Structure formats: C-alpha cells, structure tokens
Amino acid sequence: MASGALFLAMKAIPEDPIELKFEKFPDPEQIAIERERMGLNRSWLYQYGLFHRKFLTGNWERSLQTGRLATDDVKLFFPATLELSLIAMVFGILFGSSAALFARVSPNRWSKSIAMSFGTIGLTVPIFWIGLLALVVGSLWLGIFPLGGRFDLAAIPPPDRTGFLLIDSLLAMDGGALGMTVRYLTLPALCLAVFPAANVSSVLYARLNEPEVNALYTALRARGFGPIRIVFRHLTRVAGAPVITVIGTSIGALLGGAFLTETVFSWPGIGRYVVTAIIDRDLFVAQYLLLMLIMLVFGVAFLSDIIARWLDVVSESKEGGKG
C-alpha cells in the first residue's frame, strides 16, 4: 500500500524529471531517448510492476544526477546515518532514563523540575539550532570537536569492510582512526539524541509514577533497599517495556531529524541524499529510497511493539505476584 501511495505521489509531481535533468540546454531528442530507456513511455501499471520488480531484486536504477547506481549510494550513505542514529539512540536512552529516574527519586521539587525541563527543551527547540549551538560551544569555544564532517579530510580512513567507521576502525585495530571517528561523531550524536531522550524521559517518568510502580517502590524501600539500587535493579525492569516502544517509534523521528543534523554537521548520510534526490527530481532514487525507509520505520516499530508486549506481560505477572 505504501508503495502504491508513493508511486502515485511521484506520478502526481507535475514536473517531468527527464526534462529537468537538463538544466541549461534541454534537447527534445535527448529527452525522448532517456524516457524510452527509463520505461517512462509505458503504461502506469507496467511502470508500477517494473518499480516493484526492480526494488525487490535490488536491481535499482542509476541516479539521474550522478549516474551512480542507487544501490551503491545506499551502501555508501546508509551506514553513516545508521551509525549516527544508533549512537544517538544509546545517548538518548541513557540521558532520558537517567533524567526520569533522577526526577523520580530526587527529594525536592527543584531538582525534579530541572530534570524534567530537559524533556521540554528536547521536544520544542529545533534541532538545527541545537546543532549550531553545539558547534559553537564544542568546537569554537572548547576546541575539542571538529566543525562537522565524518572523518579527517586528509587522513586515510580504515579499510571499508562494513561502512560503519566505528566497526571498521576496531576491525583494523586502528586506535587513531577510532578516536578520530568518535571525535567527529560525538556532537551530531548528542544533538540527534535530544529528541529520543526527551521522549524516553517523559514516558518513563509517567510509568514510574503509576500507582503499582509506586507501591513497588515503597515496598522495596520498606525492605531496606537504597533508592539507587531500587531504581537500577528493579524499576528499570518494570519500566523497560514502554521505553522499548518509544525506541521503536523514535526511529522514524531520528531519520527525520537526520536530514537537519546531516546538513548542519556536513554528515554524509542518507537523509541529505534523499532530500537532495527529491529537490533534484531524481525520480527513481527518491522512489526506491523512500520505500526502503518506510519499510524500515514500520519494521522497527512493529518489532519493538512485539518485544515490548512480551516484556510487559512477563514482568507484570512477575512483579505483580511479588507485590
């Protein structure tokens, strides 16, 4: 269904991508040849079928703009985005749950509201603004981090085995490369982490304030456990499930935020690639890539939902029985 909607959306664009490929000297003859080659003269049904066959067999078209195979471009740009998003997710969960747990156990209202205000910031301040701020502070003032990019321009990156620089530099046992990768990765990952952190903290905080969790907390306190121990050993078990759901649904937002982050931080990722493809009317690339991303977002959300449900049922029956 998504593919149908996508196909129709692409067809609904009034501009002809082949004509527009020629920005300065459009030539009718050349345009006719290109259209023929792309199968754009056939019926829509045929084109739709062809789109699917090519998508599923991985036999994607070349980009109209760069002439590279779209599959090669995905292999090139997707790991960069995935690496950034995963690290951002780790940061997000850690910061988000720390803030929520801290707010839950903190004794006074001041510290509680400070912890929770981070959530508000994360959900309201635009990410490119956070990005610029992070660059000014982290790079210009502190001088620790580079002003964007993924790896030193003049240095030689580790041999490309997986496309993930962290893994590649570990595989190559290259400490220098690993350090450099991390230095380039930190600021964009922190910025991208702000949104999931805010999400995780608000969901987790709500969950921690539910009556049965409260009861559990009181019961455990009564047994003489310290608050830190309760939070880390027991409450995380109870509260894990909703967090996993949030993670699943945040993936979409992360990929959405990826474009802005990639632009501010000159990160060579898939977000910028897709948006450029749409602006340039690079029809096939946009079609394949969007379908791939839709499937990915749905897949992750679906999977996380299943895991969360399973965890929830299990943990409730256990902790409930105990209380």
Partner 1 sequence: MNRILSMHVIDWLNRGLLSMFGLFALALLVGCSGGGVSERSDVFVFARGSDAQKLDPADVDDGESVNTLTQICEGLVRFKSGTLEIEECLAESYSVSEDGKTYSFTLRPNVRFHDSTPLNAETALFSFRRQMDPEHPGHLKEASFSYWKYLYQDIEEVNAVGEMELEFKLSKPNASLLHSLAVFPASLLSPASLETHGSEFQRHPVGTGPYKFLDWRPNQVIMLERNDDYWGDAPEFKRIAMTVVPDSTVRLLKLKKGEIQAMDGLQPAELAALANDPKIQVYQEAGLNVGYLAFNMDNERMANRELREAVALAIDRETLAKVALKGAGRSANYPMPKGFLGYPDREDGIPLNVEKARAIVAAHPEWFTEPLEIQVMNAPRQYFPDPVTIATFIKGQLEAVGIPTKVVSSDFKAHLNNLRNGDFQAGLIGWMGDNGDADNFLSVLFASWAAEKGTATNYSFYRNDEMDRLLLAGRLETDIEKRDAIYGDALKLWRKDLPILPLVHGDNIVVMRSGYVGFELQKIGELRLASIKKSKQKE
Residues 180-239 that bind partner 1 (CB under 8 A): 180-183, 186, 232, 236-237
Q: 234 near 220, Cβ under 8 Å? A: yes
Report d(CA 286, CA 210) in Å as an integer.
Answer: 44
Examine residue 154 and tell whether it contacts partner 1 (CB under 8 A).
yes
Examine residue 242 and tell whether it contacts partner 1 (CB under 8 A).
no
Examine residue 31 and tell whether it contacts partner 1 (CB under 8 A).
yes
- Provide the minimum distance between the beta carbon of 6 and partner 1 in the complex, in angstroms, as a whole number: 19
Examine residue 263 and tell whether it contacts partner 1 (CB under 8 A).
yes
By CB under 8 A, the count of residues binding partner 1 is: 78
Q: Where are the alpha helices (DSSP H) in 106-174?
A: 109-124, 127-135, 165-171
- Provide the minimum distance between the beta carbon of 226 and partner 1 in the complex, in angstroms, as a whole number: 17
The distance of Cα 164 from the centroid of its chain, to the nearest Å, equals 15
Examine residue 47 and tell whether it contacts partner 1 (CB under 8 A).
no
Nearest residue to 216 via CA among 116, 318, 308: 318
Decide whether 45 or 279 has the Cβ nearer to partner 1: 279
- Provide the minimum distance between the beta carbon of 314 and partner 1 in the complex, in angstroms, as a whole number: 4
Residues 6 or more apart whose Cβ sits within 8 Å of residue 296: 251, 255
Nearest residue to 127 via CA among 246, 274, 256, 245: 256
Among 1, 45, 56, 153, binds partner 1 (CB under 8 A): 153
For residue 13 the two structure tokens come to 């664009």
Among 272, 284, 285, 286, binds partner 1 (CB under 8 A): 272
Burial of 53 per CB tally in 10 Å (0-12, 13-18, 19+) = exposed
Residues 72-101 interacting with partner 1 (rule: CB under 8 A): 73, 76-77, 87, 90-91, 93-94
For residue 275 the two structure tokens come to 């948006």
Examine residue 71 and tell whether it contacts partner 1 (CB under 8 A).
no
First to last CA, the chain: 46
Among 37, 42, 53, 221, binds partner 1 (CB under 8 A): 37
Q: Which stretch binds partner 1 (CB under 8 A): 108-116, 217-225, 270-278, 295-303?
A: 270-278
Report d(CA 316, CA 126) in Å as an integer.
Answer: 37
Decide whether 93 or 100 has the Cβ nearer to partner 1: 93
Q: Name residue 82's amino acid.
A: L
- Provide the minimum distance between the beta carbon of 41 and partner 1 in the complex, in angstroms, as a whole number: 15
Q: What is residue 69's three-state secondary structure?
A: strand
